[in-house]
């Protein structure tokens, strides 16, 4: 009997807390927050060519937001040997290795030591930090940022948007 009373009491507390949370209305959200719950199955990803700001050979799928105008999350699929030369972004960049492995080097110069990350690894590149990336195998990366995707190559000759 005591166990049943304790269970009813615990259930009542949970119900009261839940009702009081919902009674306060929806939590504050930022302008870039989704207005609805989103689930995306891996088989539903729509892959296309990456934008011209990235070297050829990469495929991109948008998971959330618009990389050209604001906060976003994308998946980037790159082949073994793919390289993104030394560059910066005006906002933080968060990268998670979904599959494969990638090397990330921070700081200026070609002699900057690279750190290798395999599936599950995470990298945070603060705004303005010079960094480069390369894939040591076929790799899928998840990239997100609180602002639009803008990439500035340290050496303008590395920019694939420049005519050669």
pLDDT in tens, 78-101: 999 999 999 999 999 999 999 999
Give the model's pLDDT for residue 48: 96
Q: Sheet containing 114-118: give its strands across.
A: 114-118, 101-106, 131-135, 83-88, 152-153
Task: Flag whether pLDDT at 117 surpasses 50.
Answer: yes
Which of residues 108 and 71 earns the better pLDDT score? Answer: 71
Give the model's pLDDT for residue 112: 73
Other C-beta atoms closer than 10 Å to the C-beta of 75 total: 19
Give the model's pLDDT for residue 163: 65
pLDDT band at 113 (very low <50, low <70, confident <90, very high): confident
Give the model's pLDDT for residue 5: 42
Condensed to tens digits (0 to 9), the pLDDT of residues 19-39 reads 222 232 332 233 345 577 888
pTM of the predicted protein model = 0.75
pLDDT band at 40 (very low <50, low <70, confident <90, very high): confident
Strands 101-106 and 48-49: unpaired
- Strands (DSSP E) contained in the chain are 48-49, 59-65, 72-78, 83-88, 93-99, 101-106, 114-118, 122-125, 131-135, 139-145, 152-153
pLDDT band at 118 (very low <50, low <70, confident <90, very high): very high
Q: Over pLDDT 90: what percentage of the chain?
A: 68
144 touches 70 (CB < 8 A): no
The CA distances from residue 55 to 47, 62, 123, 140, in Å, are 16, 18, 20, 15
């Amino acid at each position: 009997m005591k166990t049943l009373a304790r269970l009813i009491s615990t259930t009542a507390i949970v119900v009261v807390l839940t009702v009081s949370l919902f009674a306060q209305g929806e939590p504050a959200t930022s302008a870039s927050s989704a207005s609805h719950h989103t689930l995306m199955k891996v088989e539903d990803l729509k892959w296309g060519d990456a934008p011209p700001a990235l070297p050829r050979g990469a495929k991109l799928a948008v998971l959330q937001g618009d990389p050209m105008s604001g906060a976003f999350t994308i998946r980037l699929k790159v082949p073994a040997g793919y390289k993104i030369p030394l560059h910066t972004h005006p906002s933080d960049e968060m990268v998670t290795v979904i599959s494969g492995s990638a090397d990330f080097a921070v700081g200026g110069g070609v002699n900057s030591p690279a750190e290798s990350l395999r599936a599950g690894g995470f990298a945070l590149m603060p705004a303005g930090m010079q960094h480069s990336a390369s894939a040591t195998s076929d790799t899928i990366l998840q990239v997100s940022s609180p602002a639009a995707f803008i990439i500035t190559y340290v050496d303008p000759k590395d920019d694939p948007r420049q005519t050669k």
